[in-house]
Amino acid sequence: MFITAILVTGVIAVSIAVALFLRSWVLTESETETRLHDPRTHTIAYAIPNGVDPVVFAVAVDKAGFTSVTDRVGNAECILVECPESERAHLRTVLEAIKVPQYDGSPARSAHVVFEDER
């Protein structure tokens, strides 16, 4: 009986801890998305190539020190990156260095990066 009570209490405690963690993570993501969609925040949109997971680009720009979210701009799935104009060339270099897998599985570097505001 005592062991059952401990197990039930443990499961409840773990469930509450997971729920609080997820709530905190969702609130942080929501705040980031709100900040990046604010017109006063300078952002750059880059269209994700078809068939490539946006996480590949999100991780690369995060490692380079940029903040990003995935969004749609027109008909294209894009990564929206918080980037001052002075860092535009650095962001372009980071994105061009990403090796994206081709349909046959072999790695390929992306061509010259063109941002959505340059089209």
For residue range 21-66, what is the model confidence (pLDDT) as tens digits?
999 999 999 999 999 999 999 999 999 988 788 998 999 999 999 9
User: 75 vs 26, 50, 71, 115, CA distance in Å?
Assistant: 26, 12, 10, 14
What pLDDT score does 73 carry? 80
Please tell me the pTM assigned to this model: 0.77
Q: Is the dihedral of CA 24, 26, 28, 30 positive or negative?
A: negative
Domain layout of the chain by residue ranges:
1-40, 42-119
CB 104 within 8 A of CB 98: no
> Would you place residue 74 in the very low, low, confident or very high pLDDT band (cuts 50, 70, 90)?
confident
Using one digit for the tens of pLDDT, what is the confidence trace for 6-21? 999 999 999 999 999 9
CATH 1.10.3470 fits 42-119, yes or no: no
Q: Which tokens in the block code for residue 75?
A: 């008909």
